[in-house]
Structure 1
Amino acid sequence: MQYEGLESSPNIFYTGATTNQQIVPAVSWLLQNKGKKFFLLGSDYVFPRTANKIIKEQLKAEGGTLIAEEYTPLGHTDYNTIISKIKKEKPDVVFNTLNGDSNVAFFKQLKDAGITSKDLTTLSVSVAEEEIRGIGASVLEGHYAAWNYFQTTDTPENKKFVEAYKAKYGKDRVTDDPIEAGYFGVYLWAEAVKKAGSFEVDKVKEAAKGIEWNAPGGKVKIDGENQHVYKTVRIGEVQADGQFKEVWNSGQPVKPDPFLKTYPWGAEVTKK
């Protein structure tokens, strides 16, 4: 899975995005394309809390404004009060770090309140193709998400991957970012084992540095310093068929920076 960054364990290889491969570029894109006034909405646990701590420093540095910051318990399903606040505050963007069933409730209640993607830009970092199936494409159409992979990503590897996935699990099933990250992780490990000529953990770990593989979402590479993976960043708009139309990508795989050392404002996050 993608996660909130600020971590690097010698015992973990991170195939999901860290902060500078999802959240930070998404905020920059929103500021440049959708507006400066942000409403932060998240579930009350470590990922949204940490993500929003990072976003607040980024907004200060890049000219954005924090309108409100709201958290609800995991599994929360009544968003009418928060939606009333969104109507009152009139943000340009809702940056959504809700998780699980809360997304179903929030987006359905947003639509019931007469607010569509034409009225309000939302960008989510935990809503992928599988979640769209559960919530409904008609509810989410026009809203945005940031990931490193979409089922619609145009690579030869992805065409084969999607066909094989549907052949095995059913034509109505969808792939998504966490599925792709779990998939290519096995292949990166296999390449490291081949290079090491051994299954011994320490030998495989050493051999893994710099390993590259053409994943369905594009080329990935293991960073030898922090055991995260170089990944291309993508922003997509939900379509009526439940798939994403890619509206922006980083052009090349982004070096993972879990502690935000390459950002002038990153030190403000890590010292708190």
Structure 2
Amino acid sequence: MQPLNIHREGWPVGLLFSRESQTSAVEHAQACATLLAIDEVNAAGGIGGVPLVPRQLPIGPRPDDYRLAAERLCDEHDVRVLFGTHMSNSRKAVLPLIESRQALLFYPTLYEGFEFSQNCIYTGAAPNQNSVPLARHLLRHHGRRVFFIGNNYVFAHESNRIMRDLFEQAAGSVVGEEYLPFHASDEDLATVMAMVEQLRPDFIYSTVVGSDTIRLHEAFARTRVRAGGGVIASLATNEADLAQMSADLSEGFLAAAPWFATLENPESRAFLQGMRARFGAEVPVTSGAEAAYFQVHLFARAARDAGEATLEGVLDRLGAAFFDAPEGRVRLDAATHHTWLWPRIGRVNAKNAFDVIEAEKGPVKPEPYMVQHSFGDAMTDHA
């Protein structure tokens, strides 16, 4: 049995979010949501009377910085339960260390799928929970010719591979596919937009993340494609990005996520009120923050039910745990370590906020390997 290192004075848990990364605005919101949930767990009696004690270290912008922080948290602070990482390259940098320490990582961000670790719980959307509904919506309402623009890293390449497959199944076509370095230059963006002008796609599918998203929207706003009604659709664009743009740059653009900050239900309102009361209205609350919030509660419920602070005990009870999250009731799929989530499509309105224009009626089972997924009216099987 692998102990998760609970102590009489508290159960140390680590946070792996950076204030210096490409996606620092989103990661800050995720860190805040994690701390809010820890406060709520402790206010409810902690884990059998033992409070969760958050441990954080400064983390630089590189994937290896996350690994070094995870190593210090495990070896110097006796942490065996960690919440965080955001971009896929940071998750992949951390996972071998987590596995070597027999620790448990909760990962609260959408990603490209096709991964499993006994030591990782994935609470962000898998491809069948965001790529499939977004592709379906775009094909039905915006056309069949798409231009892919992404940052040059693993999530962008893998997400584009999945979306290409989906579009081509439905007789759509990818007319262009370009990758930008992080912190792309104005010249890089101008070159890609010249291709967009030449090829005139019906829409752009963006896997650009973080601060480059705003500059992509600024560059696209100057094109004839945008003037003609073209839009950008993304899995990664969120409220943190909208906070850095005006509505003339974002209105009409599309995103797929399990939760948007405009969602109206009691749990969603309470979550937003808690975030604003604890951290102020200036922190943009995103779907990644919502996952960071509910995953702490899922862990706490499993840990209470387990009755023992071991990796095996918590993993066993996670398979039976559920939580009424801001998006709706969520639970873990024990076979894949991914989460049943509520897919939604959001469109940015004139007030620079997401209107939910499509939503599933219930939570969707995760299919991280895309072995079987529903697309349109047909069920498609993949080897």
> Which interval holds the TM-score relative to the shorter structure?
over 0.9
* 2: CA distance, partners of 1:24 / 1:140: 22
Report what 2:220 is aligned to: 110
Structure 1 residue 265: deviation in Å? 5.4
* 1: CA distance, partners of 2:323 / 2:161: 33
Does the CA-based 8 Å contact 2:303-2:309 persist in structure 1?
Answer: yes
| 1:50 counterpart (144, 152, 158) | 158
| 1:11 counterpart (104, 116, 119) | 119
Structure 1 residue 117: deviation in Å? 7.3
The 3-state SS of whatever aligns with 2:372 is coil
Does the CA-based 8 Å contact 1:77-1:102 persist in structure 2?
Answer: no
Report what 2:96 is aligned to: none
* 1: CA distance, partners of 2:227 / 2:113: 29
Q: Is residue 31 of structure 1 aligned with residue 147 of structure 2?
A: no
Report what 1:2 is aligned to: 110
* 2: CA distance, partners of 1:56 / 1:114: 24
User: Could you tell me which amino acid in structure 1 is paired with residue 168 of structure 2?
Assistant: K
Does the CA-based 8 Å contact 2:206-2:234 persist in structure 1?
Answer: yes
Deviations 1:86-132 (A, max 9, x none): 12211112111011222111111111335547620210111100111
The 3-state SS of whatever aligns with 2:362 is coil
Q: Note the 1:73-152 alignment, pairs <5 A.
A: 73-78=181-186, 79-113=189-223, 115-116=225-226, 119-152=229-262
User: Could you tell me which amino acid in structure 1 is paired with residue 161 of structure 2?
Assistant: K
| Deviates further, 92-101 or 113-122 | 113-122
Report what 1:71 is aligned to: 179
| Deviates further, 166-175 or 35-44 | 166-175
Report what 1:186 is aligned to: 296
| 2:327 counterpart (217, 223, 248) | 217
Structure 1 residue 231: deviation in Å? 0.3
Does the CA-based 8 Å contact 2:221-2:249 persist in structure 1?
Answer: yes
User: Could you tell me which amino acid in structure 2 is paired with residue 86 of structure 1?
Assistant: V
Q: Which runs of 4+ in 1 moved over 2 A?
A: 112-118, 135-138, 171-174, 239-242, 263-267
The 3-state SS of whatever aligns with 1:67 is strand
Q: Is residue 266 of structure 1 aligned with residue 382 of structure 2?
A: yes
Does the CA-based 8 Å contact 1:94-1:121 persist in structure 2?
Answer: yes
Does the CA-based 8 Å contact 1:58-1:265 persist in structure 2?
Answer: no
* 1: CA distance, partners of 2:327 / 2:132: 19
User: Could you tell me which amino acid in structure 2 is paired with residue 34 of structure 1?
Assistant: H
User: Could you tell me which amino acid in structure 2 is paired with residue 197 of structure 1?
Assistant: G
Does the CA-based 8 Å contact 1:147-1:235 persist in structure 2?
Answer: yes
Structure 1 residue 172: deviation in Å? 3.4
* 2: CA distance, partners of 1:92 / 1:265: 28
Q: Is residue 153 of structure 1 aligned with residue 263 of structure 2?
A: yes
| Gap regions ≥5 residues in structure 2 | 1-108, 374-379
In 2 relative to 1, CA 91–35 (structure 1 residues): closer, same or farther, beyond 3 Å?
Answer: same
Deviations 1:126-185 (A, max 9, x none): 110011112333311111111111011121101111111111111233311010000000
Number of residue pairs matched? 267
Q: Note the 1:167-186 alignment, pairs <5 A.
A: 167-186=277-296
Does the CA-based 8 Å contact 2:197-2:224 persist in structure 1?
Answer: no
Q: TM (normalized to structure 2)?
A: 0.67
Cα RMSD of the aligned pairs, angstroms, is 1.5
* 1: CA distance, partners of 2:342 / 2:253: 21
* 1: CA distance, partners of 2:352 / 2:312: 43
* 1: CA distance, partners of 2:199 / 2:324: 45
* 2: CA distance, partners of 1:245 / 1:117: 22
Does the CA-based 8 Å contact 1:22-1:125 persist in structure 2?
Answer: yes
| Gap regions ≥5 residues in structure 1 | 268-272
RCO comparison, higher one (Cα < 8 Å, 6+): 1
Structure 1 residue 25: deviation in Å? 1.6
Does the CA-based 8 Å contact 2:133-2:345 persist in structure 1?
Answer: no
Does the CA-based 8 Å contact 1:74-1:100 persist in structure 2?
Answer: no
Report what 1:246 is aligned to: 356
* 2: CA distance, partners of 1:252 / 1:166: 28
